[in-house]
C-alpha cells in the first residue's frame, strides 16, 4: 500500500474507503513529488480547517459518496478512474492557453475522461461544491410544486440529478456539447433513480432546443466561459425562460483552463452581460476558493426574467410562475 494511503488509513480519514482506494490507485501512476504534494494538501487541510472552527468530515463523506457513484456509473476500477483524471491533468499542463471551441471538442469534450473529470470535480474542488450548494439554495427556496428545469452544459449530470432528487415532481433537461457527457449523465440519472424525469441530449447552448418561455429555471454553471460568444448564450437563455423564471449562473474570473475561451475580469462584466439581455440581477457574489487544480475566483449570479407590468422586489428571488408546461422541442 502506498505511504499516503497507509498514513490516511491511520487517521480519521481511514473510514472513507472509496477515497483511499482512489488515492492508492493514483499512487501507482503519479510521480513521487506529486504524491507528496497531494498528501500534504489532503493531510494538512483538515487540521488547518479545525483551527478555524471548520469540520471537514462532511466534505470527506461527500467525496467518498461521489467517488462511489463514479465507480458505479463507469463500472470501472479505481485505477481506470485515476487514469482518466491524469489524462486531463496532463492536458492542462501541456495546454495552459485557451483552446478554440472546435479544438476543445476534439481534445476534451469528446474524450471518455471528460464526464469522469466533471463528476470527480465535485469531490475534489471547493468551488464545485459551492456551485452545487448555490443551486440547492435556489431550489430549496422555491415554493413551486412542479417546475421544468434545464441544466446547460450539464456535464456528468450531477446538478440536474440533485435538483430532481430534491424536487420529486419537477422534470429536467440536460444539454451538453459532449456526447460522452450525455451518455454518462443518463447513466448517473438511472443510478440516482431520477431517469424517468430527466431528458439528456447533445446540443449547443447557442441554439437551445426549447420553445420560447418554456422553462422555469435554467442552470448554467461553468458553461458560458466555454463559448466564444457569451452574449448569444445569455440571449438564448432569456428567450426560453418564462416570465419570472430564474437563471442560476456561475463563471470563473481570470481562468487559465484550456477549454475556457472567454473569461471575466470582474463581476461587473457579468452584470452587464445579464442586464444587456434584459434579465434582472438579483444576486451577484464573487467568491474565492482554494483547491487542488481549481480556479481561484468565481462569480455566482441569480437573475430573473421580468414579468410584463409586474414589479418584483430585489429580495424576491424564489417566485417561479405557477404554470409549468413541458418545453417543446423546436
CATH 3.40.50.150 fits 125-304, yes or no: yes
pLDDT at 329: 41
Of 292, 18, 262, 247, the closest CA to residue 151 belongs to: 247
Q: What is the 3-state secondary structure (H, E, C) of 3-63?
A: HHHHHHHCCHHHHCHHHHHHHHHHHCCCCHHHHHHHHHHHHHHHHHHHHCCCCCHHHHHHH
pLDDT at 321 > cutoff 50: no
As a whole number of angstroms, the distance between CA 85 and CA 258 comes to: 15
Per-residue confidence at 308, pLDDT binned at 50, 70, 90? Answer: confident
**CATH 3.40.50.150 domain position(s) in the chain:** 125-304
pLDDT at 328: 42
Query: What value does the mean pLDDT take over residues 74-90?
Result: 93
Taking only the tens place, the pLDDT of each residue in 150-180 is 999 999 999 999 999 999 999 999 999 999 9
- Residue 326, all three cell numbers: 413541458
pLDDT at 254: 67
Per-residue confidence at 310, pLDDT binned at 50, 70, 90? Answer: low
167 and 194 in contact (C-beta within 8 Å)? no
Of 144, 300, 267, the closest CA to residue 217 belongs to: 144
Q: Please, what's the largest Cα pairwise distance for the chain?
A: 66
Mean pLDDT score across all residues of the chain? 85
Query: What value does the mean pLDDT take over residues 305-318?
Result: 58
pLDDT at 318 > cutoff 50: no
Query: What value does the mean pLDDT take over residues 256-273?
Result: 69
Query: What value does the mean pLDDT take over residues 189-213?
Result: 97
- Tell me the whole-structure pTM to 2 decimals: 0.85
Amino acid at each position: 500500500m502506498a505511504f499516503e494511503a497507509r498514513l490516511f488509513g491511520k487517521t480519521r480519514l481511514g473510514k472513507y474507503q472509496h477515497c483511499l482506494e482512489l488515492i492508492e490507485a493514483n499512487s501507482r501512476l503519479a510521480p513521487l513529488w506529486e504524491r507528496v504534494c497531494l498528501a500534504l494538501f489532503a493531510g494538512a487541510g483538515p487540521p488547518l480547517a479545525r483551527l478555524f472552527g471548520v469540520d471537514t468530515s462532511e466534505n470527506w463523506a461527500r467525496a467518498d459518496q461521489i467517488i462511489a457513484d463514479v465507480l458505479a456509473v463507469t463500472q470501472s476500477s479505481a485505477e481506470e478512474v485515476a487514469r482518466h483524471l491524469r489524462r486531463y491533468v496532463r492536458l492542462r499542463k501541456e495546454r495552459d492557453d485557451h483552446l478554440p471551441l472546435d479544438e476543445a471538442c476534439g481534445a476534451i469534450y469528446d474524450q471518455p475522461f471528460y464526464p469522469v473529470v466533471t463528476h470527480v470535480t465535485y469531490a475534489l474542488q471547493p468551488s464545485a461544491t459551492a456551485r452545487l450548494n448555490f443551486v440547492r439554495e435556489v431550489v430549496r427556496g422555491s415554493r413551486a410544486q412542479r417546475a421544468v428545469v434545464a441544466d446547460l452544459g450539464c456535464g456528468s449530470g450531477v446538478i440536474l440529478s440533485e435538483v430532481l432528487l430534491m424536487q420529486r415532481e419537477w422534470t429536467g433537461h440536460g444539454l451538453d456539447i459532449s456526447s460522452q457527457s450525455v451518455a454518462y449523465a443518463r447513466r448517473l440519472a438511472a443510478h440516482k433513480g431520477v431517469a424517468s424525469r430527466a431528458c439528456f441530449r447533445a446540443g449547443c447552448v447557442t441554439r437551445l432546443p426549447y420553445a420560447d418561455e418554456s422553462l422555469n429555471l435554467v442552470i448554467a454553471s461553468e458553461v458560458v466561459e466555454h463559448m466564444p460568444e457569451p452574449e448569444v448564450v445569455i440571449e438564448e437563455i432569456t428567450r426560453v425562460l418564462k416570465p419570472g423564471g430564474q437563471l442560476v449562473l456561475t463563471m470563473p474570473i481570470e481562468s487559465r483552463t484550456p477549454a475556457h475561451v472567454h473569461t471575466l475580469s470582474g463581476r461587473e462584466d457579468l452584470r452587464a452581460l445579464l442586464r444587456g439581455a434584459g434579465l434582472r440581477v438579483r444576486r451577484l457574489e464573487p467568491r474565492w476558493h482554494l483547491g487542488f487544480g481549481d480556479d481561484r475566483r468565481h462569480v455566482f449570479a441569480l437573475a430573473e426574467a421580468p414579468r410584463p407590468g409586474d414589479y418584483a422586489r430585489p429580495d424576491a428571488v424564489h417566485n417561479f410562475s405557477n404554470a409549468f408546461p413541458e418545453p417543446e422541442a423546436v
